[in-house]
Chains A and B, each alone.
Chain A
Amino acid sequence: DTGVSQDPRHKITKRGQNVTFRCDPISEHNRLYWYRQTLGQGPEFLTYFQNEAQLEKSRLLSDRFSAERPKGSFSTLEIQRTEQGDSAMYLCASSRMGVSEKLFFGSGTQLSVL
Chain B
Amino acid sequence: TQLLEQSPQFLSIQEGENLTVYCNSSSVFSSLQWYRQEPGEGPVLLVTVVTGGEVKKLKRLTFQFGDARKDSSLHITAAQPGDTGLYLCAGAHQAGTALIFGKGTTLSVSS
Q: Count residues on chain A whose CB falls below 8 Å from chain B CBs.
A: 26
Query: Which residues of B in the span 77-100 have a Cβ within 8 Å of any Cβ on A?
Result: 86, 88, 90, 92, 95-100
Contact with B along A82-114 (1 / 0, CB 8 A): 000000000101000111111111111010000
Q: Could you say which residues of chain B place their CB within 8 Å of the CB of A43?
A: 43, 88, 101
Task: Say yes or no: is B11 at the interface (Cβ < 8 Å to chain A).
Answer: no
Give the residue name and chain of the B residue nearest to A91 (CB).
Answer: B42
**Contacting pair B88 A42 (CB below 8 A):** yes
User: CA of A104 to CA of B30 in the docked complex: distance in angstroms?
Assistant: 19
**Contacting pair A56 B50 (CB below 8 A):** no
**Contacting pair A40 B86 (CB below 8 A):** yes
Task: Say yes or no: is B45 at the interface (Cβ < 8 Å to chain A).
Answer: yes
B contact residues, range = 20 to 34
**Contacting pair A105 B99 (CB below 8 A):** no
Closest Cβ–Cβ distance, residue B44 to chain A (whole Å): 7
Q: Which of these, B41, B98, B106, contacts A33 with CB under 8 Å?
A: B98
Task: Say yes or no: is A65 at the interface (Cβ < 8 Å to chain B).
Answer: no
Q: Could you say which residues of chain B place their CB within 8 Å of the CB of A48?
A: 98
**Contacting pair B41 A107 (CB below 8 A):** yes
In order of increasing CB-CB distance, the 3 nearest A-B pairs are: A105-B42, A42-B101, A100-B48
**Sample of 20 A–B contacts (CB below 8 Å):** A4-B42, A35-B101, A41-B104, A42-B88, A43-B43, A44-B101, A45-B99, A45-B101, A48-B98, A91-B42, A97-B96, A100-B48, A101-B95, A102-B33, A103-B45, A103-B99, A105-B43, A105-B44, A107-B40, A108-B42
